[in-house]
Amino acid sequence: FEDLSTGGSIMIINKSHDLLKDVVLNFTDFFVEESCGSCVPCRCLTVLYRNTLQKIIDGHGTKKDLEDMVSWGKIMLANRCGLGQTAVNPILTTIKNFKQQYIDRIQIDKNYDAGFDLHKAVERSCQVTGRDPKDVEEFHG
């Protein structure tokens, strides 16, 4: 407990929290917002990591997404500051230590999933704008 008084901290997580959604995504959002944008890996990859993590949380992730996130980690070391070099550690350490949390959410049988359903998006847009999806030619094409 001596370390706590000098700026140390602890985090207690139990089964009432979703590790990926409640903790890892929160940390990832923080790093995206705190990036100064000076270094390309931090400016771009933190957003790409967040979007890929959200895709996995939403059930559209694939094994390739996990493999990509692990391989991108090496690129983050090119950042100039410590924030950029460690910004993706919440994701990388949970992939390493809690991989099953990711495996349980990805689609094992798919190589790719964009995580975007055009038909649902058009239907939702039509609801918001008061248009009839039958009038949207691209929707049926």
50-67 residue pLDDT tens: 999 999 999 999 999 999
Kindly state the tokens that stand for 44. 């771009």
Do the beta carbons of residue 42 and residue 35 sit within 8 Å?
A: yes
Confidence of residue 139 (pLDDT cuts 50, 70, 90): low
Backbone angles phi, psi at 79, to 5 degrees: -65, 150
Q: How many residues does the chain have?
A: 141
Tokens of 95: 């992939």
pTM of the complete model? 0.76
Report how far residue 6's alpha carbon sits from residue 22's, in angstroms, rounded to the nearest whole number: 26
Residue 133: partners with Cβ closer than 8 Å, 6 or more residues away: 122, 123, 126, 139
27 has pLDDT over 80: yes
Task: Write down the pLDDT at residue 127.
Answer: 87
User: Which among 68, 116, 73, 90 has a CA at the least distance from the CA of 22?
Assistant: 90
